């Protein structure tokens, strides 16, 4: 036996054992489910890597060409050589592009422990072969059918002899040799060409219809002559009554060796749709970023005094979403996006009261105090990492229940990855370049073909829909401008233009592969294949915070500078020619109503808005001084008269709680109210010359009198005027919703290092040779010795300084095996250096199941 054969791994566990720590770290990073919980040794790691759930998850994360390579291995002999695999992928003609890309695909499958063995004996993990190999119930994506041996397993020996003879081969003594002879004929390109040259044209037509799949067809009990010709020579084999199949070897000959009709060795390029000056892109994105801040503020200002009620099942009603869309002057899907964005950023939540309603959180007030660029960065970061997906609002869940904004069932765990990936693809284009949506979707489908099949198919699959939503939402939020990624959008990803371009080039080169077709020699250490930056997963919280701060710094100079003045006009309006500083905007929101928005905001002063400012504790003098200070034009006389007139009437009527009462020093005014027919619904009754009682509550009484044109003021039980503020309603402190992870999170470097160390130590304990009395122990079985023998062996090891192999059961009943060097035995405990844990530990002797000496070698 050659040294190479000696060193070839005989199992996946042995293959993992031959890897270095960097290669194991790459495996655990790409398949984090293998480390939850940490395996005890490499054998358990290999077992876990072969489970159906783990293999399915790993296959879902393969790109199209790596998946095609795995599919080819599933129809290749087991084991297969690299040259056999290359023949299936590149065909008889040897496609150079496929041949160049194949080493990268095989390395990916090896790294993820889906393939093991050297280049002469490549083995697909058994579970992956079962999932990808063709069967009548689950056709292979290759379109290939069973082999001659598999298809003919139920045929009689006599029938096989007839087929061999009709094919021009000599008769054999048994079915096994007949199958081998027929297989040899079908895999011989020259002989098969000669055989098919004799076939009738109709027979070749039948084969052409089956060659790319599905390979199954129907025949009658008395088939036509052209079908009989194929059946007699085994070019079609029966699989059941009236059903035939095209053997895999025949199909591969007709395909000229190709396992796939259209191999996809290279990722489709992201095509540019338009190119703009980077400055134009950044300015457009910045303008939209400012609009996004104004929209969120407007939404939460509208809900300041208590927003819509929470549905019993959770979320906003359709009616409330429509009202919100009208208030924001946007379509309903866009309104759902802004509502969900505020919720994801922790600015909006339910108040938790018995009559539960949505309202702003205390975090909203803190958010308002930040500079605009930082406020935008918080929104953008929340959007990038959120799993809640506004795009599905209005759809139906698996139980056919409507999905509502802010309701349950909106989480899509793939959303953060898709958003991040779409933006990275945009970052790989030259600055100012906007891509076509179709090319972005095609690239995503190539990168995760199996995940694309989770939706309805085609362009409507989940990842494609998430990508489309990402492109539109990024434009709404100001991450992109005119379809191209902005400078602050790149910073949000933690990517500079040069780095993004390099990442894109590295990704394409990595996909194409290079060098010799041999990926590694037999028994070689598997190299670490780091995923290029273009494929990086979303950053850690610390990295995201750094990226958000960088994005805010780049955005800040592009945002308009807040103004400290307005232009008052004679028609009782004020024009704000740009964004206003926070105190000025807050006061104007109370004193006036927004009439129109755009490049400039128009405010209108009305009696009701002035009364609102007086209710908030301002006096007429305060309002005059405020307008004089902040207006670049003189205060118009109509506006001054309006303020004085409303202030003159404000507070003459006082409303308090009896059920409710109205108090006024002017009894003539009370007489006027009693005589007004509109007051009938309030059911007023005079208690004294200056007091009226009502059977309605104070709030209804206030609204009723204001509707009649009066300016009443609420008062406390002590007779003081109650000042009402628009921002009084806040929820208790609430945290933003946690994203729903798409499986276990990728382990960090510290966890990886500790896990690999524990796995190596456990594997050392499991595989270290040991001396055992009697029959050798089966793999994983703990040693069993009597208490006296255990104690004597321990004491002897203390004197000799030797190491022992022990079985140990902890207080929770979990069994493990360890390699220890005893230091001291006393009081029913053994103190020893534990090679498995790499530290000194103390073990109760009664928990040690047995002990064995290690072998001399």
pLDDT in tens, 158-175: 888 888 888 888 777 788
How crowded is residue 461: how many other Cβ atoms within 10 Å of its Cβ? 20
Specify the pairing of strand 684-688 against strand 815-826: unpaired
Q: What pTM does this model have?
A: 0.78
Burial class (CB in 10 A: 0-12, 13-18, 19+), 396: exposed
pLDDT in tens, 101-137: 999 999 999 999 999 999 999 999 999 999 999 887 7
The pLDDT score that the predictor gives to residue 213 is 80
The pLDDT score that the predictor gives to residue 855 is 67
The pLDDT score that the predictor gives to residue 296 is 94
The SS3 assignment for 663 reads strand
Distance (Å, whole) CA 583 – CA 564: 9
Distance (Å, whole) CA 332 – CA 316: 12
Residue 219 token pair: 């025949």
| Sign of the dihedral through C-alpha 12, 14, 17, 23 | negative
Q: 122: which strand partners? A: 80
- DSSP track, 459-500: GGSHHHHHHHHHHHHHHHHTSEETTEE-HHHHHHTT--HHHH
Burial class (CB in 10 A: 0-12, 13-18, 19+), 589: buried
Residues in the chain, pLDDT under 50: 1-6, 454-459, 497-538, 726, 773-777
Radius of gyration of the chain (CA): 38
Q: Under CATH, to which class is 787-853 assigned?
A: mainly beta
The SS3 assignment for 47 reads helix
Compute the CA torsion angle 498, 501, 504, 508 (nearest 10 deg): -110
Residue 627 token pair: 């307008």
Angle between helices 278-302 and 372-385 (to 10 degrees): 90
The answer to whether 554 and 494 are in contact (CB under 8 A) is: no
- The candidate with the shortest Cα–Cα distance to 178, out of 244, 237, 253, 258, is 237
Residue 605 token pair: 């002063």
Q: What are phi and psi of 663, to 5 degrees?
A: -120, 135
C-alpha distance from residue 160 to each of 60, 324, 589 (Å): 41, 75, 91
Burial class (CB in 10 A: 0-12, 13-18, 19+), 99: middle
C-alpha distance from residue 719 to each of 670, 691, 722 (Å): 18, 13, 9
The answer to whether 248 and 430 are in contact (CB under 8 A) is: no
The pLDDT score that the predictor gives to residue 769 is 65
- DSSP track, 210-254: HTTS--EEE--SS--HHHHHHHHTTSSEEEETTEEE--HHHHHHH
Q: Which residues lie below 8 Å from residue 98, measured CB to CB, with a gap of 6+?
A: 89, 90, 91, 263, 265
The answer to whether 144 and 136 are in contact (CB under 8 A) is: no
Q: Using DSSP, how many helices (H) and how many strands (E) does the chain show? A: 36, 26
pLDDT in tens, 796-808: 888 888 888 888 8
Percent of the chain exceeding pLDDT 70 equals: 88
- The candidate with the shortest Cα–Cα distance to 466, out of 386, 548, 346, is 386
Residue with token string 């933690």: 494
- The candidate with the shortest Cα–Cα distance to 413, out of 127, 743, 646, is 743
């Amino acid at each position: 036996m050659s040294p190479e054969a000696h060193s070839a791994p005989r199992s996946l566990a042995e293959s993992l054992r031959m890897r270095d720590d960097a290669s194991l770290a790459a495996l655990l990073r790409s398949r984090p489910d293998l480390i939850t919980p940490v395996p005890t040794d490499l054998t358990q790691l290999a077992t876990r890597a072969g489970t159906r759930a783990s293999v399915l998850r790993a296959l879902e994360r393969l790109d199209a060409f790596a998946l095609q390579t795995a599919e080819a291995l599933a129809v290749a002999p087991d084991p297969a050589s690299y040259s056999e695999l290359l023949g299936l992928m590149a065909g008889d003609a040897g496609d150079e592009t496929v041949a160049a890309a194949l080493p990268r695909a095989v390395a990916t499958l090896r790294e993820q422990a889906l393939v093991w063995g050297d280049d002469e004996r490549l083995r697909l993990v058994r579970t992956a072969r079962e999932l990808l190999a063709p069967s009548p119930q689950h056709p292979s994506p290759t379109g290939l059918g069973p082999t001659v041996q598999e298809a003919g397993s139920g045929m009689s020996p006599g029938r096989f002899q007839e087929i061999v003879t009709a094919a021009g081969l000599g008769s054999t003594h048994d079915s096994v040799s007949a199958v081998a002879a027929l297989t040899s004929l079908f895999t011989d390109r020259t002989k098969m060409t000669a055989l098919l040259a004799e076939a009738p044209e109709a027979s070749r037509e039948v084969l052409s219809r089956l060659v790319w799949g599905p390979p199954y067809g129907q025949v009658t009990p008395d088939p036509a002559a052209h079908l009989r010709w194929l059946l007699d020579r085994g070019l079609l084999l029966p699989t059941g009554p009236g059903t035939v199949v095209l053997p895999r070897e025949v199909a591969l000959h007709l395909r000229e060796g190709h396992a796939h009709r259209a191999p996809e060795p290279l990722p489709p390029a992201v095509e540019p749709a338009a190119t703009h000056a980077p400055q134009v892109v950044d300015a457009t994105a910045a303008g939209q970023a400012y609009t996004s801040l104004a929209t969120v503020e407007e939404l939460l200002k509208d809900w300041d005094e208590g927003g819509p009620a929470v549905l019993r099942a959770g979320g906003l009603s359709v009616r409330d979403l429509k009202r919100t869309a009208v208030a924001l002057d946007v379509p309903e899907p866009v309104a759902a996006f802004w509502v969900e964005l505020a919720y994801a950023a922790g600015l909006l939540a339910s108040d938790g009261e018995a009559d539960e309603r949505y309202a702003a959180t205390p975090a909203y007030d803190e958010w308002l105090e930040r500079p605009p660029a930082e406020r935008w960065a918080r929104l953008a970061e929340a959007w990038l990492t959120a799993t809640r997906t506004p795009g599905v609002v209005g759809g139906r869940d698996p139980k056919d229940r409507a999905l509502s904004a802010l309701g349950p069932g909106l989480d899509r765990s793939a959303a953060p990855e898709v958003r991040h990936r779409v933006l990275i693809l945009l970052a790989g284009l030259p600055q100012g370049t906007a891509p076509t949506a179709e090319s972005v979707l095609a690239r995503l489908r190539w990168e995760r073909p199996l995940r694309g099949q989770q939706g309805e198919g085609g362009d409507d699959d989940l990842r494609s829909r998430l990508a489309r939503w990402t492109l539109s939402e990024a434009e709404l939020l100001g991450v992109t401008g005119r379809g191209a990624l902005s400078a602050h959008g790149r910073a949000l990803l933690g990517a500079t233009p040069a780095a993004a371009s390099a990442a894109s080039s590295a990704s394409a080169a990595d996909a194409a592969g290079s060098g010799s077709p041999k990926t590694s020699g037999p028994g070689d250490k598997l190299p670490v294949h780091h995923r290029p930056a273009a494929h990086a997963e979303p950053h850690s919280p610390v990295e995201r915070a750094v990226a958000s701060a960088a994005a805010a710094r780049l955005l800040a100079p592009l945002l308009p500078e807040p103004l400290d003045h307005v232009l008052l006009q004679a028609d009782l309006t004020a024009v704000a020619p740009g964004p206003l500083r926070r105190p000025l905007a807050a006061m104007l929101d109370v004193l006036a109503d927004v009439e129109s928005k755009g490049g400039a905001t128009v405010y209108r002063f009305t009696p009701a808005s002035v009364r609102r400012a007086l209710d908030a504790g301002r006096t007429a003098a305060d309002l005059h001084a405020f307008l004089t200070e902040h207006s670049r034009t003189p205060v118009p006389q109509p506006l001054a008269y309006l303020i004085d007139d409303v202030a003159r009437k404000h507070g003459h009527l006082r409303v308090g709680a009896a059920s409710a009462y109205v108090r006024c020093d002017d009894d003539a005014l009370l007489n006027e109210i009693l005589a007004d027919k509109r007051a009938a619904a309030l059911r007023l009754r005079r208690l004294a010359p200056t007091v009226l009682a009502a059977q309605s509550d104070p709030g209804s009484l206030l609204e009723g009198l204001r509707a009649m044109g009066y300016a009443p003021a609420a008062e406390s039980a002590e007779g003081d005027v109650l000042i009402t503020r628009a921002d009084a309603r806040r929820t208790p402190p609430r945290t933003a919703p946690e994203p729903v992870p798409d499986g276990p999170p990728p382990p960090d470097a510290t966890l990886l290092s500790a896990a690999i160390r524990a796995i190596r130590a456990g594997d050392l304990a499991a595989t270290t040779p040991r001396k055992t009395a009697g029959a050798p122990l089966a793999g994983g079985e703990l040693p069993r010795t009597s208490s006296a023998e255990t104690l004597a062996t321990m004491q002897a090891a203390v004197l000799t300084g030797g190491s022992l192999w022990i079985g140990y059961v902890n207080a929770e009943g979990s069994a493990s095996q360890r390699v220890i060097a005893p230091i001291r035995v006393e009081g029913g405990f053994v103190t020893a250096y534990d090679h498995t844990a790499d530290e000194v530990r103390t073990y109760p002797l009664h928990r040690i199941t047995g002990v064995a000496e290690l072998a001399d070698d």
